[in-house]
Amino acid sequence: MAEIAKKPIGITETVLRDAHQSLIATRMPTEVMLPIVDKMDKVGYHSVECWGGATFDAALRFLKEDPWERLRKLRDGFKNTKLQMLFRGQNILGYRPYADDVVEAFVQKSIANGIDVIRIFDCLNDIRNLKAAVDATNKFKKIEGRGESQIALSYTLGDAYTLEYWANIAKEIEEMGADSICIKDMAGLLTPYKAEELVKTLKESTKLPIQLHTHYTSGVASMTYLKAVEAGVDVIDCAISPFALGTSQPATEVMAKTFEGTPYDPGFDQKLLAEIANHFAPYREECLKSGLMNTKVLGVNIKTLLYQVPGGMLSNMVSQLKEQGAEDRFNDVLEEIPRVRKDCGEPPLVTPSSQIVGTQAIFNVLMGERYKMATGEFKDLLRGNYGQTVKPMNQEVIDKVIPGEKRSTARSAEATGHTEPELASIEKEMLEKGFKKQQDEDVLSYALLPQVAADFFKYRDAQQTKVDAAKADTKNGAYPV
């Protein structure tokens, strides 16, 4: 048998972003990350995913941290490792489509503050919603000497999602000018032999490097990685063991050990990985003790293969039902999700479509009547405001939820009327509301999350001036410290 040429597998470490987003609702603070950065920088990772996704919102909203400051601190620490972020296409890191000037400004500031790889996805795989971010990345790559655009294809199952579909979209991505492709398997739906088939198809369709991202939710992820690597995938996403498995990724140490002594050996030092794991282990215990890490998301949930529910969506659903005192309806909601998904054109379930479909499923179950009440976001999905789904939507549901309304077939920015530059007007609004711009990045934080950023700016001012504006008697000029 001919010897296989050496092809060390690249590994992206997710512990600083997707691993804790999946297991503890994105609550890991910067102070837990920084002490271990130096050791992580010595591993030889392909990249470290540390920013974007839900980290931006969670930092501002719950941790009272400036996400831009986190990025700068991580960039200072990682001298030899590429830093990676997740970017929601035209939605950036927010919850609506933005005009192209905001997308471009956000890409520019992300790269300037330290990001090397921008993984860009669209919840509907409507690649028209990805072009502005790819173009911006390519533009600033020439200026900064850094910046790679990776298009993530949201993997899902359904009649429309054939091998031909994936091959064609890969060719379109290459033509668009992206640097690489990621198969983003949010729910752990990709089984080992299907992964082998998909990777081989993509490798035949494009010259771009292929990365694979999955979650352990359904229990097959490590085997899926093994077959994908043998089929020629270039990079896999893994999480250091204390924040691996469950709704997170396969463990970094295990995958590195699996390929040890083979042509795919990444050459990692297991002792160094053990030191990194030892750093995160006490924090994991802390999260379990406080309930931040819920045991419901730690085991294997084979139902994900049927219901197609991503890791972060599962943990959010648990907390939403808990708030409503309806945890006993968990399985009913799981069963309703694929029905809602089919009604709205079988979109992949990834942010924000996962939240839209998940919340609507909860409404349908708790209200006792399907679509008796619909969220604004679900209505927007039906209107075409997020872009085009692969399959047609259920006309009966459209007629019930948005009777007589006009629907769009344009890309999301145009469908929602965001065709003209809007960054200057957003900055004007922010300043008129009395918020000082301490850095250009503040305007982008405000653009994405106006109320959350406003609350954070007040908190930051109170910390800097030692005056709590929230308790101030502005009428009589009394400012408690």
16: left (phi over 0), alpha (psi -120 to 50) or beta: alpha
Tell me, yes or no, whether 465 lies in a domain. Answer: no
Q: Is residue 350 part of a domain?
A: yes
Tens digit of each residue's pLDDT (9 = 90 or more) over 400-459: 999 999 999 999 999 999 999 999 999 999 999 999 999 999 999 999 999 999 999 999
The DSSP-derived string for 308-362 is ---HHHHHHHHHHHHHTT-GGGHHHHHHHHHHHHHHTT-----TTHHHHHHHHHH
Q: What is the DSSP letter of 478?
A: B
SS3 call for 283? helix
Burial of 39 (0-12, 13-18, 19+ CB in 10 A): middle
Out of 381, 415, 449, pick the residue that ends a domain. Answer: 415
* Burial of 455 per CB tally in 10 Å (0-12, 13-18, 19+): middle
Q: Does 248 map to a domain?
A: yes
* Pair (300, 277) in one structural domain: no
* Same domain as 128, residue 269: yes
For residues 255 and 308, state if they share a domain. Answer: no
* Shared-domain flag, residues 135 and 91: yes
pLDDT less than 50: residues of the chain: 1, 474-481
Q: Do residues 14 and 125 both lie within one domain?
A: yes
Query: Can you give the residue range of the structural domain that contains 26?
Result: 10-290
- Is 42 part of any domain? yes
Residues 81 and 187 in one domain: yes
Work out how many domains the chain is built from and give that number: 2
Q: How far apart are CA 462 and CA 459, in angstroms?
A: 5
If you ran DSSP here, which 8-state letter would residue 168 be given?
Answer: H
CB atoms within 10 A of CB 171: 13
Residues 72, 18 share a domain: yes
Q: What CA–CA distance (Å, rounded) separates 253 from 270?
A: 7
For residue 44, being part of any structural domain is answered with yes
Residues 218, 304 contacting (CB under 8 angstroms): yes
164: left (phi over 0), alpha (psi -120 to 50) or beta: alpha
Residue 426 lies in a domain: no
Helix H or strand E segment including 117: strand 117-121
212 lies in the same domain as 91:
yes
What distance in Å separates the CA atoms of residue 18 and residue 16, rounded to the nearest whole number?
Answer: 7
Question: Over the stretch 276-331, which tens digit does the pLDDT of each residue have?
Answer: 999 999 999 999 999 999 988 898 887 777 777 776 677 778 888 999 999 999 99
**pTM assigned to the model:** 0.91
Residue 201 belongs to some domain of the structure: yes
- What is residue 367's predicted lDDT score, i.e. its pLDDT? 95
- Kindly state whether residues 313 and 283 are assigned to the same domain: no
Residues 27 and 158 in one domain: yes
Nearest to 114 by CA among 73, 86, 151: 73
Q: Which residue has the tokens 């990365």?
A: 211
